[in-house]
């Protein structure tokens, strides 16, 4: 028997995907304030520069403390985050999900151009507050990084 999906579930799934994509858009447009607004005040954001490690390399426990992480993107001349497949499991006003992303970071130093591509998996917990979805917890886990020079 097929599962019937309600219009509310469809709307919630769409809103969560929009939230995930808004994170990438804010990163690429250097909108740190907009990016921070996607998180709850008491968010938990953990960065694992190597997904195989049990301990994160960085832990943030509030929305305001996210600013330095997001502002660090200004060290690159250009970025492009490309979100791929994702899964979401809804449970009322909470949800959990995983999103795959290729994050491209371009650095230009005179004639030298280098592209760093990070393969990232985001493990998220979401919460719906007053009808709007937010990141409650986000684990950014880097699977691998490739850096290569770019031809002009």
Average pLDDT per 10 consecutive residues for the chain, totaling 152 residues: 90 98 98 98 98 97 96 96 97 98 97 96 98 98 96 70
Q: What is the pLDDT of residue 124?
A: 98
Using a 10 angstrom Cβ sphere, with 0-12 exposed, 13-18 middle and 19 or more buried, the burial of residue 92 is exposed
Task: Count Cα neighbours of 10 within 13 Å in the Cβ-side half-sphere.
Answer: 5
Q: What is the pLDDT of residue 2?
A: 84
Predicted TM-score (pTM) of the model is 0.94
Domains annotated on the chain, with CATH: 7-102+120-143 (3.10.450.50)
Q: What is the pLDDT of residue 118?
A: 98
């Amino acid at each position: 028997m097929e599962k019937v999906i309600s219009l509310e579930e469809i709307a919630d799934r769409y809103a969560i995907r929009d939230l995930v994509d808004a994170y990438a858009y804010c990163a690429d447009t250097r909108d740190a304030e907009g990016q921070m607004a996607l998180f709850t005040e008491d968010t938990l954001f953990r960065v694992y520069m190597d997904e195989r490690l049990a301990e994160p390399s960085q832990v943030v426990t509030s929305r305001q403390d996210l600013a330095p992480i997001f502002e660090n993107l200004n060290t690159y001349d250009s970025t492009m985050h490309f979100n791929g497949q994702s899964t979401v499991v809804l449970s009322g006003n909470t949800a959990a999900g995983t999103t795959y992303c290729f994050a491209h970071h371009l650095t230009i130093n005179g004639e030298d151009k280098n592209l760093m591509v990070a393969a990232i998996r985001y493990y998220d917990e979401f919460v719906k507050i007053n009808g709007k979805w937010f990141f409650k917890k986000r684990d950014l886990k880097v699977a691998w990084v490739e850096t290569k020079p770019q031809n002009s």
